[in-house]
């Protein structure tokens, strides 16, 4: 993996994490702690790295689209579960 790709993924993750950080300054409805930021950073960075590897390694466009879509859906399901407990697991938020 190229160093440039890792830097770009890191910058995107930081920019995404600035959204709740800035939102916390303006409203009481957003309450993230340090662990929330850490989990979000790991989840976003890990997903970004996995997507980068898939895009580089999978040659056929159909399979690339299928795998990337599956990874994004899995990411969104995990994010939703951690945020509000959609599936009522012990990891669920709220």
Residue pLDDT, tens place only, 7-41: 999 999 999 999 999 999 999 998 899 999 999 99
Write a three-state SS string for the chain: CCHHHHHHHHHHHHHHHHHHHHHHHHCCCCCCCHHHHHHHHHHHHHHHHHHHHHHHHCCCHHHHHHHHHHHHHHHHHHHHHHHHCCCCCCCCCC
**pLDDT score of 84:** 81
Ranges of each domain in the chain? 3-84
**pLDDT score of 69:** 97
Mean pLDDT of the chain: 91
**pLDDT score of 94:** 57
**pLDDT score of 24:** 93
**pLDDT score of 1:** 67
**pLDDT score of 83:** 83
């Amino acid at each position: 993996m190229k160093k440039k790709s890792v830097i770009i993924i890191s910058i995107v993750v930081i920019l995404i994490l600035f959204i709740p950080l800035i939102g916390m300054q303006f409203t009481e409805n957003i309450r993230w702690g340090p662990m929330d930021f850490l989990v979000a950073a790991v989840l976003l960075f890990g997903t970004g790295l996995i997507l980068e590897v898939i895009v580089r390694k999978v040659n056929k466009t159909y399979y690339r689209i299928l795998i990337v879509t599956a990874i994004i859906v899995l990411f969104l399901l995990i994010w939703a579960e951690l945020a509000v407990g959609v599936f009522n697991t012990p990891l669920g938020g709220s």
